[in-house]
Structure 1
Amino acid sequence: MKNKFLLLTWLLAVPLLWGGCDKPLFKPDRGSIAQPDELPPITTTGEGNFACKINGVNWQRCGGGFLQSSILGNWSPNYKIFQISGMRRSCEGFDDSVNITAYVDSAGIYELHHAFYIDRNLSCQNITNPYSLLENADNWVEILNLDTEEYIVSGTFQCTLFDPNCGDTIYITDGRFDYDWAN
Protein backbone atom coordinates (compact mmCIF):
# COMPACT_ATOMS: atom_id res chain seq x y z
CA MET A 1 0.00 0.00 0.00
CA LYS A 2 2.85 2.35 0.87
CA ASN A 3 4.43 1.77 -2.58
CA LYS A 4 1.14 2.57 -4.31
CA PHE A 5 0.83 5.80 -2.31
CA LEU A 6 4.40 6.87 -3.26
CA LEU A 7 3.77 6.04 -6.92
CA LEU A 8 0.51 8.00 -6.93
CA THR A 9 2.18 10.98 -5.23
CA TRP A 10 5.02 10.92 -7.75
CA LEU A 11 2.63 10.70 -10.72
CA LEU A 12 0.69 13.72 -9.45
CA ALA A 13 3.76 15.79 -8.50
CA VAL A 14 5.74 15.50 -11.76
CA PRO A 15 3.18 17.31 -13.97
CA LEU A 16 2.98 20.11 -11.39
CA LEU A 17 6.75 20.53 -11.50
CA TRP A 18 6.71 20.68 -15.31
CA GLY A 19 4.35 23.65 -15.20
CA GLY A 20 7.00 25.77 -13.47
CA CYS A 21 9.59 25.43 -16.23
CA ASP A 22 10.30 28.47 -18.39
CA LYS A 23 11.24 26.50 -21.47
CA PRO A 24 9.21 23.73 -23.07
CA LEU A 25 10.36 20.22 -22.33
CA PHE A 26 9.29 18.88 -25.71
CA LYS A 27 9.80 20.41 -29.13
CA PRO A 28 6.82 20.12 -31.46
CA ASP A 29 6.93 17.39 -34.06
CA ARG A 30 7.98 19.25 -37.22
CA GLY A 31 5.83 16.93 -39.30
CA SER A 32 2.76 18.24 -37.47
CA ILE A 33 3.52 21.91 -38.21
CA ALA A 34 1.32 23.37 -40.93
CA GLN A 35 2.93 23.49 -44.36
CA PRO A 36 1.64 25.34 -47.39
CA ASP A 37 -0.85 23.14 -49.20
CA GLU A 38 0.56 24.10 -52.58
CA LEU A 39 3.75 25.60 -53.88
CA PRO A 40 3.42 28.96 -55.63
CA PRO A 41 2.90 28.71 -59.39
CA ILE A 42 5.86 28.82 -61.76
CA THR A 43 6.09 32.41 -62.99
CA THR A 44 8.62 34.44 -65.03
CA THR A 45 7.84 38.06 -64.14
CA GLY A 46 9.95 38.71 -61.02
CA GLU A 47 7.28 37.77 -58.46
CA GLY A 48 9.78 37.06 -55.66
CA ASN A 49 9.02 33.36 -55.27
CA PHE A 50 11.38 30.65 -54.07
CA ALA A 51 9.95 27.25 -53.12
CA CYS A 52 10.52 23.51 -53.51
CA LYS A 53 9.72 20.14 -51.98
CA ILE A 54 12.21 18.59 -49.60
CA ASN A 55 11.67 14.84 -49.35
CA GLY A 56 8.15 15.41 -50.66
CA VAL A 57 7.22 18.13 -48.13
CA ASN A 58 6.51 21.65 -49.36
CA TRP A 59 9.23 24.17 -48.45
CA GLN A 60 8.45 27.84 -48.80
CA ARG A 61 10.17 30.75 -47.17
CA CYS A 62 8.29 32.46 -44.35
CA GLY A 63 8.86 34.81 -41.47
CA GLY A 64 9.88 38.42 -41.63
CA GLY A 65 12.96 40.57 -41.68
CA PHE A 66 16.09 40.50 -43.81
CA LEU A 67 17.70 37.35 -42.46
CA GLN A 68 14.45 35.53 -41.90
CA SER A 69 12.60 35.60 -45.18
CA SER A 70 14.82 36.84 -47.96
CA ILE A 71 15.48 35.68 -51.43
CA LEU A 72 19.05 36.57 -52.24
CA GLY A 73 20.38 36.16 -55.73
CA ASN A 74 22.61 37.55 -58.41
CA TRP A 75 23.76 36.98 -61.93
CA SER A 76 27.27 37.93 -62.95
CA PRO A 77 27.42 38.56 -66.72
CA ASN A 78 31.25 38.58 -66.74
CA TYR A 79 31.47 35.07 -65.28
CA LYS A 80 28.02 33.87 -66.36
CA ILE A 81 27.29 32.52 -62.91
CA PHE A 82 23.88 32.59 -61.29
CA GLN A 83 23.17 32.09 -57.60
CA ILE A 84 19.90 32.17 -55.70
CA SER A 85 19.06 31.35 -52.14
CA GLY A 86 15.83 31.03 -50.17
CA MET A 87 17.33 32.46 -47.02
CA ARG A 88 16.17 31.23 -43.66
CA ARG A 89 12.69 29.90 -43.49
CA SER A 90 12.34 31.10 -39.93
CA CYS A 91 8.84 30.48 -38.65
CA GLU A 92 6.75 27.92 -36.78
CA GLY A 93 9.80 26.04 -35.45
CA PHE A 94 11.73 26.01 -38.74
CA ASP A 95 15.16 27.55 -39.27
CA ASP A 96 16.60 26.33 -42.56
CA SER A 97 17.92 27.57 -45.92
CA VAL A 98 18.22 26.33 -49.52
CA ASN A 99 20.86 27.61 -51.98
CA ILE A 100 21.61 26.76 -55.62
CA THR A 101 24.36 27.98 -57.98
CA ALA A 102 24.89 27.35 -61.71
CA TYR A 103 26.86 28.77 -64.62
CA VAL A 104 24.27 30.13 -67.08
CA ASP A 105 24.17 32.54 -70.00
CA SER A 106 20.61 32.26 -71.32
CA ALA A 107 17.41 30.26 -70.99
CA GLY A 108 18.07 26.52 -70.95
CA ILE A 109 18.91 23.55 -68.72
CA TYR A 110 22.18 23.61 -66.80
CA GLU A 111 23.95 21.34 -64.35
CA LEU A 112 24.05 22.76 -60.85
CA HIS A 113 27.53 23.88 -59.93
CA HIS A 114 26.79 24.06 -56.20
CA ALA A 115 23.82 23.60 -53.89
CA PHE A 116 23.34 23.27 -50.18
CA TYR A 117 20.72 22.91 -47.48
CA ILE A 118 21.18 23.98 -43.87
CA ASP A 119 18.79 23.02 -41.06
CA ARG A 120 19.83 24.87 -37.91
CA ASN A 121 17.50 22.67 -35.82
CA LEU A 122 19.37 19.42 -36.51
CA SER A 123 21.88 18.51 -33.81
CA CYS A 124 23.97 16.59 -36.38
CA GLN A 125 24.07 19.58 -38.78
CA ASN A 126 27.29 21.56 -38.99
CA ILE A 127 26.45 24.87 -40.69
CA THR A 128 30.03 25.13 -42.00
CA ASN A 129 29.57 21.73 -43.68
CA PRO A 130 25.90 21.60 -44.81
CA TYR A 131 24.06 19.12 -46.98
CA SER A 132 25.83 19.35 -50.37
CA LEU A 133 25.31 18.04 -53.89
CA LEU A 134 25.50 14.29 -54.25
CA GLU A 135 27.73 13.60 -57.25
CA ASN A 136 26.27 11.70 -60.21
CA ALA A 137 22.71 12.58 -59.18
CA ASP A 138 20.23 14.40 -61.41
CA ASN A 139 21.13 17.95 -60.23
CA TRP A 140 19.94 20.68 -62.59
CA VAL A 141 18.40 24.11 -62.97
CA GLU A 142 16.26 25.17 -65.91
CA ILE A 143 16.40 28.89 -66.59
CA LEU A 144 13.02 29.87 -68.02
CA ASN A 145 13.73 33.60 -68.18
CA LEU A 146 17.02 35.50 -67.88
CA ASP A 147 16.20 39.12 -68.63
CA THR A 148 19.32 41.21 -68.03
CA GLU A 149 17.53 44.46 -68.93
CA GLU A 150 14.66 43.95 -66.44
CA TYR A 151 16.91 42.07 -63.95
CA ILE A 152 14.64 39.04 -63.75
CA VAL A 153 15.71 35.42 -63.51
CA SER A 154 13.17 32.60 -63.28
CA GLY A 155 13.38 28.86 -63.40
CA THR A 156 12.94 25.43 -61.92
CA PHE A 157 15.40 23.07 -60.23
CA GLN A 158 15.97 19.76 -58.53
CA CYS A 159 18.90 18.17 -56.71
CA THR A 160 19.98 15.45 -54.33
CA LEU A 161 22.02 16.46 -51.30
CA PHE A 162 23.97 14.46 -48.72
CA ASP A 163 25.35 15.33 -45.28
CA PRO A 164 28.09 13.06 -43.92
CA ASN A 165 27.53 14.45 -40.39
CA CYS A 166 23.86 13.46 -40.40
CA GLY A 167 24.46 10.43 -42.61
CA ASP A 168 21.40 10.94 -44.77
CA THR A 169 20.28 12.11 -48.19
CA ILE A 170 17.60 14.67 -48.99
CA TYR A 171 15.79 15.08 -52.29
CA ILE A 172 14.83 18.56 -53.45
CA THR A 173 12.21 18.44 -56.21
CA ASP A 174 9.66 20.75 -57.84
CA GLY A 175 11.92 23.74 -57.14
CA ARG A 176 10.89 27.08 -58.58
CA PHE A 177 12.07 30.66 -58.32
CA ASP A 178 11.15 33.99 -59.89
CA TYR A 179 13.48 36.75 -58.80
CA ASP A 180 13.98 40.42 -59.61
CA TRP A 181 17.58 41.04 -58.55
CA ALA A 182 17.27 44.84 -58.93
CA ASN A 183 14.72 45.10 -56.09
Structure 2
Amino acid sequence: MKNKFLLLTWLLAVPLLWGGCDKPLFKTDRGSIAQPDELPPITTTGEGTFACKINGVNWQRCGGNLKDSSLSGNWSPNYKIFQLSAFRDCEGFNDSVSISAYLDSLGRYDLHRGNYFNADLPCLDRWPSFYSLLDSADNWVEILNLDTKEFIVSGTFQCTLVHEECGDTIFITDGRFDYDWAN
Protein backbone atom coordinates (compact mmCIF):
# COMPACT_ATOMS: atom_id res chain seq x y z
CA MET A 1 0.00 0.00 0.00
CA LYS A 2 2.86 2.34 0.86
CA ASN A 3 4.48 1.74 -2.56
CA LYS A 4 1.21 2.50 -4.36
CA PHE A 5 0.85 5.75 -2.42
CA LEU A 6 4.43 6.82 -3.34
CA LEU A 7 3.84 5.94 -6.98
CA LEU A 8 0.58 7.89 -7.06
CA THR A 9 2.24 10.90 -5.40
CA TRP A 10 5.09 10.78 -7.91
CA LEU A 11 2.74 10.53 -10.89
CA LEU A 12 0.78 13.56 -9.69
CA ALA A 13 3.84 15.64 -8.77
CA VAL A 14 5.86 15.25 -11.97
CA PRO A 15 3.41 17.09 -14.29
CA LEU A 16 3.15 19.91 -11.75
CA LEU A 17 6.93 20.22 -11.65
CA TRP A 18 7.17 20.27 -15.46
CA GLY A 19 4.69 23.11 -15.64
CA GLY A 20 6.91 25.25 -13.39
CA CYS A 21 10.07 24.89 -15.47
CA ASP A 22 11.35 27.97 -17.26
CA LYS A 23 13.47 25.97 -19.71
CA PRO A 24 11.83 23.94 -22.45
CA LEU A 25 12.27 20.20 -22.37
CA PHE A 26 13.14 20.10 -26.05
CA LYS A 27 15.57 21.96 -28.30
CA THR A 28 15.74 25.72 -28.13
CA ASP A 29 15.12 27.89 -31.16
CA ARG A 30 18.66 28.82 -32.25
CA GLY A 31 17.56 32.26 -33.38
CA SER A 32 16.82 33.17 -29.76
CA ILE A 33 20.31 32.22 -28.51
CA ALA A 34 22.85 35.03 -28.20
CA GLN A 35 25.98 34.64 -30.31
CA PRO A 36 29.29 36.33 -29.54
CA ASP A 37 29.34 39.87 -30.97
CA GLU A 38 33.00 39.59 -31.93
CA LEU A 39 35.46 36.82 -32.59
CA PRO A 40 38.43 36.62 -30.22
CA PRO A 41 41.58 38.39 -31.44
CA ILE A 42 44.23 36.51 -33.42
CA THR A 43 46.94 35.53 -30.91
CA THR A 44 50.04 33.31 -30.99
CA THR A 45 50.73 32.50 -27.33
CA GLY A 46 48.67 29.34 -26.72
CA GLU A 47 45.51 31.07 -25.44
CA GLY A 48 43.26 28.11 -26.29
CA THR A 49 41.06 29.99 -28.73
CA PHE A 50 39.20 28.67 -31.77
CA ALA A 51 36.60 30.69 -33.61
CA CYS A 52 35.34 31.44 -37.11
CA LYS A 53 32.33 32.64 -39.06
CA ILE A 54 30.02 30.04 -40.53
CA ASN A 55 27.96 31.59 -43.33
CA GLY A 56 28.73 34.99 -41.81
CA VAL A 57 27.62 34.11 -38.25
CA ASN A 58 30.18 34.07 -35.44
CA TRP A 59 30.99 30.58 -34.16
CA GLN A 60 33.06 30.02 -31.03
CA ARG A 61 33.86 26.85 -29.12
CA CYS A 62 32.18 26.24 -25.77
CA GLY A 63 31.22 23.44 -23.42
CA GLY A 64 33.39 20.51 -22.51
CA ASN A 65 33.01 17.05 -23.90
CA LEU A 66 36.70 16.13 -24.20
CA LYS A 67 38.19 15.94 -20.71
CA ASP A 68 36.44 19.20 -19.76
CA SER A 69 37.63 20.98 -22.90
CA SER A 70 36.03 21.79 -26.20
CA LEU A 71 39.31 21.93 -28.13
CA SER A 72 41.49 19.00 -29.11
CA GLY A 73 44.42 18.73 -31.48
CA ASN A 74 48.13 18.20 -32.10
CA TRP A 75 50.98 18.53 -34.53
CA SER A 76 52.99 15.40 -35.30
CA PRO A 77 56.64 16.12 -36.08
CA ASN A 78 57.11 12.63 -37.57
CA TYR A 79 54.23 12.85 -40.04
CA LYS A 80 54.11 16.66 -40.34
CA ILE A 81 50.35 16.66 -39.88
CA PHE A 82 48.40 19.21 -37.88
CA GLN A 83 44.90 18.40 -36.61
CA LEU A 84 42.50 20.53 -34.61
CA SER A 85 38.86 20.01 -33.59
CA ALA A 86 36.64 22.44 -31.73
CA PHE A 87 33.25 21.65 -30.22
CA ARG A 88 30.28 23.80 -29.29
CA ASP A 89 28.20 21.92 -26.76
CA CYS A 90 26.37 24.67 -24.88
CA GLU A 91 23.32 26.93 -24.96
CA GLY A 92 21.35 24.59 -27.20
CA PHE A 93 24.14 23.98 -29.71
CA ASN A 94 25.81 20.68 -30.55
CA ASP A 95 28.22 21.04 -33.47
CA SER A 96 31.93 20.90 -34.26
CA VAL A 97 34.55 22.12 -36.72
CA SER A 98 37.70 20.12 -37.56
CA ILE A 99 40.66 20.95 -39.79
CA SER A 100 43.92 19.21 -40.67
CA ALA A 101 46.86 19.90 -42.97
CA TYR A 102 50.32 18.63 -43.74
CA LEU A 103 52.79 21.29 -42.66
CA ASP A 104 56.31 21.69 -41.32
CA SER A 105 56.83 25.40 -40.61
CA LEU A 106 55.21 28.82 -40.78
CA GLY A 107 53.29 29.60 -43.95
CA ARG A 108 50.11 28.91 -45.86
CA TYR A 109 49.05 25.33 -46.63
CA ASP A 110 46.15 23.61 -48.35
CA LEU A 111 43.79 21.92 -45.93
CA HIS A 112 44.03 18.15 -46.14
CA ARG A 113 40.72 17.67 -44.36
CA GLY A 114 37.96 19.87 -43.02
CA ASN A 115 34.67 18.83 -41.45
CA TYR A 116 31.63 20.38 -39.87
CA PHE A 117 29.27 18.20 -37.85
CA ASN A 118 25.90 19.39 -36.64
CA ALA A 119 23.88 17.07 -34.41
CA ASP A 120 20.71 18.95 -35.37
CA LEU A 121 21.18 18.48 -39.11
CA PRO A 122 17.78 17.62 -40.63
CA CYS A 123 19.20 14.82 -42.77
CA LEU A 124 21.48 13.39 -40.07
CA ASP A 125 20.41 9.85 -40.94
CA ARG A 126 22.24 10.07 -44.26
CA TRP A 127 25.88 9.03 -44.59
CA PRO A 128 28.15 10.85 -44.19
CA SER A 129 26.53 12.83 -41.40
CA PHE A 130 28.95 15.75 -41.70
CA TYR A 131 30.05 18.41 -44.16
CA SER A 132 33.43 17.89 -45.83
CA LEU A 133 35.80 19.99 -47.96
CA LEU A 134 34.65 21.10 -51.36
CA ASP A 135 37.77 20.18 -53.34
CA SER A 136 37.42 22.95 -55.91
CA ALA A 137 37.31 25.71 -53.25
CA ASP A 138 40.14 27.77 -51.74
CA ASN A 139 40.63 25.76 -48.51
CA TRP A 140 43.70 26.79 -46.53
CA VAL A 141 45.33 27.24 -43.15
CA GLU A 142 48.04 29.82 -42.46
CA ILE A 143 50.38 28.93 -39.61
CA LEU A 144 51.49 32.04 -37.70
CA ASN A 145 53.29 30.22 -34.87
CA LEU A 146 54.57 26.65 -34.66
CA ASP A 147 56.55 26.38 -31.42
CA THR A 148 57.58 22.74 -31.00
CA LYS A 149 59.28 23.40 -27.64
CA GLU A 150 56.24 25.06 -26.05
CA PHE A 151 53.75 22.91 -28.07
CA ILE A 152 51.89 25.91 -29.48
CA VAL A 153 50.33 26.16 -32.92
CA SER A 154 48.46 29.29 -34.01
CA GLY A 155 46.99 30.49 -37.25
CA THR A 156 44.07 31.41 -39.45
CA PHE A 157 41.97 29.38 -41.87
CA GLN A 158 39.07 29.35 -44.29
CA CYS A 159 37.22 26.63 -46.17
CA THR A 160 34.10 25.72 -48.06
CA LEU A 161 32.32 22.58 -46.93
CA VAL A 162 29.56 20.63 -48.63
CA HIS A 163 27.09 18.00 -47.55
CA GLU A 164 26.13 16.40 -50.84
CA GLU A 165 23.38 14.20 -49.39
CA CYS A 166 21.66 17.20 -47.78
CA GLY A 167 22.38 19.43 -50.77
CA ASP A 168 23.92 22.14 -48.63
CA THR A 169 27.15 24.18 -48.66
CA ILE A 170 28.63 26.23 -45.83
CA PHE A 171 31.38 28.84 -45.93
CA ILE A 172 33.83 29.11 -43.06
CA THR A 173 35.72 32.41 -43.02
CA ASP A 174 37.77 34.48 -40.56
CA GLY A 175 38.91 31.29 -38.80
CA ARG A 176 41.50 31.65 -36.07
CA PHE A 177 43.05 29.36 -33.48
CA ASP A 178 45.76 29.52 -30.84
CA TYR A 179 46.33 26.11 -29.29
CA ASP A 180 48.74 24.64 -26.75
CA TRP A 181 48.60 20.92 -27.54
CA ALA A 182 50.50 19.90 -24.38
CA ASN A 183 47.82 21.23 -22.00
Same fold (TM over 0.5): yes
Q: Distance in 1 between matches of 2:57 and 2:69?
A: 19
Q: Distance in 2 between matches of 1:37 and 1:116?
A: 24
Report if the CA contact (8 A) 2:63-2:70 is conserved. no
Corresponding residue number in structure 2 for 1:101: 100
Given the alignment of the two structures, is residue 81 of structure 1 paired with residue 74 of structure 2, yes or no?
A: no
Q: Distance in 2 between matches of 1:132 and 1:154?
A: 22
Contiguous gaps of at least 5 residues in structure 1: 1-18
Corresponding residue number in structure 1 for 2:70: 70
Q: Distance in 2 between matches of 1:170 and 1:148?
A: 33
Change in CA separation of 1:127 and 1:99 when aligned onto 2, cut-off 3 Å: farther
Offset, 1:70: 1.8
Corresponding residue number in structure 2 for 1:140: 140
Q: Distance in 1 between matches of 2:97 and 2:76?
A: 20
CA RMSD of aligned residues (A): 2.2
Corresponding residue number in structure 1 for 2:10: none
Q: Distance in 2 between matches of 1:140 and 1:169?
A: 17
1:110-153 deviation per Cα after TM superposition (whole angstroms, max 9, x unaligned): 00000000000112135862100001101000000001011100
Corresponding residue number in structure 2 for 1:164: 164
Corresponding residue number in structure 1 for 2:6: none
Offset, 1:164: 1.4
Q: Distance in 1 between matches of 2:97 and 2:175?
A: 10
Q: Distance in 2 between matches of 1:134 and 1:167?
A: 12
- Number of residue pairs the alignment of both structures matches: 163
Report if the CA contact (8 A) 2:65-2:89 is conserved. no
Offset, 1:63: 1.8
What one-letter code is carried by the residue in structure 1 that aligns with 2:176? R
Offset, 1:74: 0.8
User: What's the TM-score once normalised by structure 1's chain length?
Assistant: 0.82
Q: Distance in 2 between matches of 1:167 and 1:77?
A: 37
Q: Distance in 2 between matches of 1:126 and 1:69?
A: 27
Percent of aligned pairs with the same residue? 73
Offset, 1:177: 0.4
Q: Distance in 2 between matches of 1:51 and 1:65?
A: 17
Structure 1 residue matching 2:31: 3-state secondary structure:
helix
Change in CA separation of 1:141 and 1:43 when aligned onto 2, cut-off 3 Å: same
Structure 1 residue matching 2:115: 3-state secondary structure:
strand
Corresponding residue number in structure 2 for 1:113: 112
1:37-90 deviation per Cα after TM superposition (whole angstroms, max 9, x unaligned): 11110000000001101000110011235367421111111111100110x201
Corresponding residue number in structure 2 for 1:180: 180
